[in-house]
Chain A
């Protein structure tokens, strides 16, 4: 009779729990639209920024998961853009034709403009809708020009890794179309202080299966 009891007890526990879980709406905070507080938290964390070195590295490696998105106007895009970038001007970022680009989970989108403002605005708009995998190029094209195109030679006394970084930037700059570009001054929003480099948490689904 012991057996019967266990079955009854189990049923008496799981059926009410099932009723509760069926009656309560799902916790969708992570999957769908973000509320203002969550947006604020994400903005304060600043995890959306990607340093130019990382992008340059991916470009040199021809990493297929990278998708650069230029959010400046079409004119500016025609004058200069990063290799492989597509142009989605900020005012059409929410247009239906681009939705497949900005709301997807295959590639890593990196928004950029001259400074960070427009890129970051594009990120905020899409992030608020709960879209994943969108990032912003740290410092925008201006900072890109400073670091990748015209890297500043470090002094002889610096640590090896600084030197290695410089060498990489020189090589990447050359590989990606030469160190001729001057930092343009069209954007007034570029902050002069060096952006802080942050490690992005990995947010991929766990691997598994047999």
Chain B
């Protein structure tokens, strides 16, 4: 059955239309969870607001469980979904740079767009910065191409790399996440913040 566009249940153009609808859902949920506030987002790193951690992990686990169960029922062919390729160095260095950008700018690209849509001017500045950063990458590409393509590991899934079955890894992730939720609630009580 799924993914619908690969198995040609829907056409390319319908896929674009549905991308728009999915985007509306994405933006709506991000905004109503409070991801349009940079201070709320940054709060995670100081322990006073762990909303991001909770939403992020709950979402990843919900989608992961959905995919695993759908695959079990034969509703989706997991060998047809997109999995990010792993280029070890660029993923690590890119992650470090993004982490720095996160704590300095207070947004990530998705949340910045979401904040921009309700009129946050700091989000507009962040999006402007994104344009500059991406443009710097595309223009400087010849200089970093080697790093960008170094240490290609194919498209492994994490459970394959660890030698576990998907289900066992999923269970471990769930247990870790639940433990983190408890720690998060504790941290919020320990570092209380006023409303903003």
A residues with CB within 8 A of B? 3-4, 7, 10-11, 14-15, 17-19, 21-27, 29-31, 201-209
Contacts and interface: CB of A to CB of B under 8 A. Distances in A.
Contacts of A10: 58, 181
A206 B174 contact: no
B32 interface: no
B25 interface: no
A47 to B, nearest CB: 13
A22 B82 contact: no
Nearest to A30: B77
A21 B72 contact: yes
A11 B3 contact: no
Contact of B185 (A4, A14, A203): A4
Nearest to B159: A26
A18 B65 CA distance: 7
A11 B74 CA distance: 26
B181 A11 contact: yes
A78 to B, nearest CB: 37
Given A26-B165, A31-B79, A201-B7, 6 more contacts: A14-B62, A14-B178, A21-B170, A24-B167, A27-B74, A205-B83
The 6 closest A-B pairs by CB, nearest first: A208-B82, A18-B174, A22-B171, A18-B171, A22-B167, A21-B167
A88 B80 CA distance: 29
21 contacts: A3-B185, A10-B58, A11-B181, A14-B61, A14-B62, A14-B65, A14-B174, A14-B177, A17-B69, A18-B170, A19-B171, A21-B65, A22-B167, A27-B72, A31-B79, A201-B7, A201-B8, A205-B6, A205-B81, A206-B3, A208-B82
A11 B178 contact: yes
B175 interface: yes
A4 B72 CA distance: 32
A158 B60 CA distance: 58
B167 A7 contact: no
A15 B173 CA distance: 10
A15 B5 contact: no
Contacts of B78: 30
Contacts of B173: 18
Given A10-B58, A11-B178, A26 B82 contact: no
Contacts of A14: 61-62, 65, 174, 177-178
A4 B54 CA distance: 12
Max chain A CB contacts within 10 Å: which of B7, B79, B173, B182? B79
Contacts of A25: 165
Contacts of A206: 3, 5-6, 80-82
B143 interface: no
Contacts of A31: 79
Nearest to B164: A22
B168 interface: yes
A32 to B, nearest CB: 10
Contacts of A11: 178, 181
B39 interface: no
